[in-house]
Structure formats: C-alpha cells, structure tokens
Structure 1
C-alpha cells in the first residue's frame, strides 16, 4: 500500500466514524511526515535528529456548530469521532460554517505537475558534509572569530484531505534547507549574522560554500556597530526583511481580520494602499515552490489573483466561512492543520519590482538607515501603528558608513506603504517575493 493509499484509508475511517457518531458533515486530514536535521560545529558533528510520524485530524459540523480533534494514534479514530461530536454539541452556533457544495469542488487534483516532491533523499552523511562545507567556507573569511552553527535538513510530507461532500485528494512535499550563523568580535563587541536557503529540490539549492561565505561576509560587515541618531529619516528595508513589511498588508486584508473589524484596512476596498504601479499578485501554481498548491483546504481550485493592482486594493483573502460572513465568494485560500478548522492564508506572493538598483536607492536616500534585521514588534492591528527593533547600516551622503544596532523604527503602516520605492533585487525562491523597499520619512530612535 502506498503512502497516499494509507492516508486515504485513514480519512475514510475518520469520516465513517463521524457519520456513526452523528455528524451532519465532516472533513478529515491525514499527514505522514519525516524530517532529518544535522548541526555541525568546529568541524565535527554536534547534533543529529530524525523525527517521523502520522497525525490525523477530524472536523465535524452539527447544526451550525463545529469541533476539531487530532491525534497521532490511528487506533483512536472511534474515540476521536465520539469526542468531536460531543464537543460540537456544546459549541456556539455559527450559521456561516459548512463544507463546499459539490459543484464548487475542483476536479484538478494531480499536483505532480507542480513538482513539489524531490525523490532524491540525501543521506545523513551527505547532510553532514554540506554543513561542514558551509562552516569551512565561513571560517575562511577574515574577521570571523567563530561559527555558531551550520545546519542542514531534509523533510518529506504526505497529506490527504477528504470530506463528506465527496472531495478526496492529497499531495506530497519535500524540503531541503541549509543555514550558517557566524560571529565576529568578542565580549560586548561581538556581532553575528547568518545566511540560509530552502528549496523543494536539492538541485535548486545554492552550493554550501556560497551560503557559508555569505553568512560570514554579512557578519564581518557588522563590526563596530553602534546606535544611530534619533530623528526622521528615510529607511531602506533590505530584501532580507522587506517581505515582513508587506506581510503586514497581507495580514490586514485577511478575511478573518476584516470580518472581526480588527484590520487597519477594513474600509480600504477599492482604495490605494500602495503607490501607483505596484501590483501584489498571488501565484499558487509556481513549479517547485514549497507553498504552491492546486486546491485549498476546502477542495476549491486555486488560481492567480491580484490582492493589489496598480496600487489599489482588489479584495480580501477568504475561505468559505469568512466569505459568507462578508457576503463574498471564497478566494480558495483556506489553510488548515490537523487539529484546527480552515482559515484564510496565502501561498506565493510577488510584489512588483522597481527600475533602480539597491545601490541607486542608497545613493539617492542621502542620509538614513538600511534595515537588514528586525526583532520584536508592536503593531496595532486596528490602527496600523508600527514600532519595531532593528539593526542594519547607516548611510551618509549616499554611502554606507557603519553598522547600526539597538534602534527602534516607527510609523503608521497606511502612511508608510504609500511612500514606497522598490528596487529591482527581489530574490527568487521566496514564498513572498519582495525587493528592497525604500520608505520616506520614518522615525528612528537610537542614541
């Protein structure tokens, strides 16, 4: 019996048990996952771990009520169904809940054309060798005092989703990853930085030496970091962190937040939320991208769609329930885990690039801050008020002068996003593909 056949058998059993327990509707998910990780330090293996297991989840709907349960023991199916129905009977009524109608379901469920699974599983020895090569390359860079860690990993995941409305489909995913953390200096003068990459297919990964060297070069560039001045300055979000800025916009157009009234963009449909010329497009069918999918967690067909077109907000991100609450159709964006109900979520997002290089934007900003790392956050989901800790580099007369640490940057997201200028350096292979972004007139609190 194949992996998919075993998982489909489990979802069959879950739905049968749910019907016997009294559920009106139900959907079930079965997952089988395995992962291997290897850490090296000082030219030797420091830690190796392998984890694998099966997880099953059941959602039952009963008279406008729902409940979700999950377990890692397939022998607990009958108990799960009984418990889920009992929980649903005590849950509050929500008339917006319900499975998709059969006519809404996609028949296109063969995900093989998306190339989401790499059959060439690396051995533990190969993983260790890659980590050692990255560590050695980082250590060769002058100014590096030590390598904190070099880590590699590989994962496989099979999923099957089945529902009482007739939907039944699954997919397999794989993932390769490698990262390196390097340190320069000692004591209070110590600085660290990192580099890492992840891909579905090993053949798409950069060489370990490339990742190790980049981590070390980023780290050495941070020597002598100090606080910046306090004031209002332009801030350039490096492509390493620019996607985080756009993620706040993505979160604000999530249907769950909009339906609760907890979004700073709740009244912005059809209004400008980015400068003219900016598009933000979801592309769920990109080949060999880890977030790609043909169908969502409710069995609806996914498709490219614009969240923002020419700067104007086009729509919310919706699953079936949030769509019904807002009197709109689902955008086929339901995501879920084994123990949770569907909720809206995005796949691959691509923001328009600009025509200027990152260096062009640095030269033109004159005096300001380049942000390459962020920590902590204070974001008001209702007003968009924004405050975050940051580190990076200070710019004077259009040139980088020194590294910066221990500062806070602040503004309002609605205003910030309307003052964007994009570079042309968006990286590939990111689930949110965003170039470096220059924001005019933010507050920097430093020395």
Structure 2
C-alpha cells in the first residue's frame, strides 16, 4: 500500500481505457496500472548466488456488462495492446454468468482526497553492491555463532512501486510505496543431526530495517539453541506461541470474519457477529493509517474509503471484513477491505491488524503457565474452515518452573480454534513487523501429539 504520487507519462492511458471500454459496450469499468522496480541479491556460504532485477508495468481492466464481469490484464501498454484488452474484456463479460452482487463500488462509498501522507515511500535506491554487502554481513554474523555449520542463504532486497486506479464512477487516485527487506536461514549441526532457523524483515524505510549483524546473530542463535532437540510424549499441556509466529494463530480468525467466507457459509464464525470469541478485554484492531505500515493505505483496492476500526472489540466480533460484492450479498456496506491483484475480481484483505497486548512478557507467560511447550517454529498448519478444527507441526522448547529445559522437535499441536480463542492470554511483547501482528499467546491446555 502507499501514499499518493505525482503523475507519470503513462497516466493518460487509464482514463482513455475507461472511455474506450464504455464505447465498446461496457456499462461500467475500472482500470489499474501497476508499476514496479525491484532488485534482490542473494549469497550462500560466502558466495554470490543470485542477482534479480525487475522492472514491470501491468495494466488491468475490469468491465461490467449488466451484472456480468470480466477482468483482463496485459504487460504491454501499446495502443494495439490496449485496443485488444478492451475488445477481449467486453467480449468475455458478455458471455460470463451473471453475478447479482457484482459491480463497482457505490459512489457514496468512494474515498475522497486529499489523502493523508502515510510516509510509505523512501526514495533511497540500493545498489547491487550495497545489497550484496548487506547480505554477506548478515550471513557472516549467523555463521559466526558456535554450532552453526552452514548457510541456506541470505538475501537483501529493495523495491518501489506505484499503483493507480481509475473507475467509470469517477474515482482516480494513485499511491506509491517502497520496501527494503533482509532475510537469512542457517543450519546448526551436532552428531549428524541438523536444525534450521530463519527469519526475514521488511520495512518501508531503509532506516527502519534491522541491521545485518543483529539479524544474522538472531538467526544463528536460534538455530544453535535447537541443537539436541528431542520428541516429547503425547500430552495435554499449556502452549505458548512466541510473538514472531503468534500471528499465524490469528490468520484463521481473519479468514473466518472475511465477508466472502461468511457469505458462502464456509466460516466457523459465520453466526458469531456481535458475540464473544476472545476473552474479555482483548481486541483485534485494524489501522490503515499507521505511518510506514506495511498494510497502510489511504483507500482500498476498489477505491473505497478506509477507517481505523476494531474487528474484535473487548472480545466481541464487531464487524465482518467486507469488499463491495460480499457487502451487497450480506446486505451491508463495504468496510474498505477490498483487495485486488492484476487478475480476477476483488477479494478481502486486512490493513494493519494487531491483537492488543496483555500484562506479562514472554518470561511472565512462562512463569504463569509453570510448565509446557514454547512454540518458536510452525509448519504445515491445517484448518477445517467450517468447524475451526486446527493442527500444525511445531518445534520449540519444553519449559518447567517457568524455565526452558530442552528444545523440542517433531510434535503436533491441535485443537478447535473457537475453544482456543476463548482461552487465549496475550503477552505484553507486541511488536509491529508485518501487516498482522500479535504478542506471544498462551493457551492453558492444548493437545500435543509426540512420540
């Protein structure tokens, strides 16, 4: 997401594309021009592994013929390509099935400028040499940790982009953003047993990016700490999900309050609007206006106004996440959560969401639980969206008396999310690194499948 940017030479394309689509038989149309420039450099075990550069422009046209719609995209901006784009889109829409809830966003729902400056663009350009040096420094810091045997790669990247939306309803606005990222993954080894750890960070401004030495050391230390991991017997015990991965427990909640899921009846929370799903005092908040936020935006991908709001307030579901189509199907108004790529109609996406923190830091949660499993890695989560039954493979550490005893691997945790959400205890260690953030989460009794 991004803040407004001055016009570019390609900007006159979109209004003319809308005009030609209407003349060709469309009743309504919207056009998107997405421009992106990116550079990524990767190293592995002190050797340069890859350099990737991208410069792209993608043009997308969505048209409606009555309640029938079609979306066509092209990477060419030539006059001939635009003509074919209009012809194909209108022809496809005429043959598409009717969607009684289709259509552009209502004019009364559209965002109106001037839009706030969310500080999402840093004009700094990183050279291949600078990115390579950063990646090498990250990897070197990780490899310097005792027990780390080799690297699976370190990557440093920079990108910037611009996105403009024009609709036949009169919406016309652009936004721009930058992104700087750093990631690394390494292997620690002892007696032929390997343990992996990795982490990545991304920010809007280079000055906010974690230093390569800091990231490298953290990755190396996490890998080394896993040496000697063992299985544990199957049991039911308290489980704490570290803040780095705790947001993965909240993603199914966002999916379950997504308007399209509720409208289709494929949500385990479809009948719970206005009902308690989290403990009293716990809220899930969404703020599209957070400065430099990875999910910040002055308007959604349908041009609809956005607002800071509680998704779950004091434990109670306060709203569904709605785009235009799902809002119409449910007899509601869009909440400004429409999300679009270059192909297909709009889906739904959160902006900057976070769970409100609690009182205890991670050590405090471990002391509160006394004994149990601290989860620091998760893989292969499985969810039954209709029932909320959930499971995931995890690794981490067994703790007793609030202190870590030994690392744990190859175990599975499982439960019903409706039940788990009702009993979660948030920690105080909330950090803002992604578009969805959470403090560490404690659950008092979770089924653990081990040896």
Normalising by structure 1, we get a TM-score of 0.97
CA distance in 2, matches of 1:310, 1:42: 49
CA distance in 1, matches of 2:102, 2:313: 31
RMSD of the alignment, in Å? Answer: 1.4
Shift of 1:78: 1.1
Matched-pair contact (CA < 8 Å) for 1:156–1:175? yes
2:151 to 138, 147, 150: 147
Q: Residue in 2 aligned with 1:95? A: 100
Q: Residue in 1 aligned with 2:278? A: 274
Please state whether the residue corresponding to 1:4 is helix, strand or coil: coil
CA distance in 2, matches of 1:219, 1:7: 48
Q: Residue in 2 aligned with 1:326? A: 330
Q: Residue in 2 aligned with 1:183? A: 187
Q: Residue in 1 aligned with 2:112? A: 107
Q: Are 2:136 and 1:132 aligned?
A: yes
CA distance in 1, matches of 2:192, 2:141: 25
Matched-pair contact (CA < 8 Å) for 2:399–2:405? yes
Shift of 1:433: 1.9
Please state whether the residue corresponding to 2:8 is helix, strand or coil: helix
Q: Are 2:60 and 1:69 aligned?
A: no
CA distance in 2, matches of 1:168, 1:7: 14
Please state whether the residue corresponding to 2:178 is helix, strand or coil: strand
- Provide, for residues 178-236 of structure 1, a one-character-per-residue CA deviation record: whole Å limited to 9, x for no partner: 11111111575000101221100000112110000000011111001111220111110
Which range moves more in the overlay, 178-187 or 247-256? 178-187
Q: Are 2:17 and 1:29 aligned?
A: no
CA distance in 2, matches of 1:7, 1:243: 39
Matched-pair contact (CA < 8 Å) for 2:38–2:160? yes
Q: Residue in 1 aligned with 2:422? A: 418
CA distance in 1, matches of 2:250, 2:107: 35
Q: Residue in 1 aligned with 2:412? A: 408
**How many correspondences in the alignment?**
445
CA distance in 2, matches of 1:36, 1:51: 6
Q: Are 2:84 and 1:82 aligned?
A: no
Q: Residue in 2 aligned with 1:12? A: 15
Q: Residue in 2 aligned with 1:345? A: 349
CA distance in 1, matches of 2:106, 2:328: 13
Which range moves more in the overlay, 249-258 or 70-79? 70-79
Matched-pair contact (CA < 8 Å) for 1:255–1:317? yes
CA distance in 1, matches of 2:46, 2:216: 13
Matched-pair contact (CA < 8 Å) for 1:109–1:294? no
CA distance in 2, matches of 1:171, 1:327: 30
Matched-pair contact (CA < 8 Å) for 2:109–2:334? no
Please show how residues 388-407 of structure 1 align to structure 2 within 5 Å: 388-407=392-411
Please show how residues 152-163 of structure 1 align to structure 2 within 5 Å: 152-163=156-167
Q: Residue in 2 aligned with 1:305? A: 309
Q: Residue in 2 aligned with 1:59? A: 62
CA distance in 2, matches of 1:303, 1:110: 12
CA distance in 2, matches of 1:147, 1:352: 36
Q: Residue in 1 aligned with 2:52? A: 49
CA distance in 1, matches of 2:304, 2:325: 13
- Provide, for residues 57-109 of structure 1, a one-character-per-residue CA deviation record: whole Å limited to 9, x for no partner: 01001111111111111121111111111111121112211223333322225
Which range moves more in the overlay, 336-345 or 281-290? 336-345
CA distance in 1, matches of 2:300, 2:258: 15
Please state whether the residue corresponding to 1:190 is helix, strand or coil: strand
Matched-pair contact (CA < 8 Å) for 2:390–2:416? yes
Which range moves more in the overlay, 94-103 or 31-40? 94-103
CA distance in 1, matches of 2:45, 2:414: 40
Change (3 A) 1:64 1:236: same
Shift of 1:307: 0.5
Matched-pair contact (CA < 8 Å) for 1:11–1:29? yes
Gaps of 5+ in 2: none
CA distance in 1, matches of 2:150, 2:368: 36
Gaps of 5+ in 1: none
Q: Residue in 2 aligned with 1:354? A: 358
Please show how residues 242-281 of structure 1 align to structure 2 within 5 Å: 242-281=246-285
2:370 to 366, 391, 408: 366
Normalising by structure 2, we get a TM-score of 0.96
Q: Residue in 1 aligned with 2:220? A: 216
Matched-pair contact (CA < 8 Å) for 1:148–1:182? yes
Q: Are 2:297 and 1:290 aligned?
A: no
Matched-pair contact (CA < 8 Å) for 2:147–2:190? no
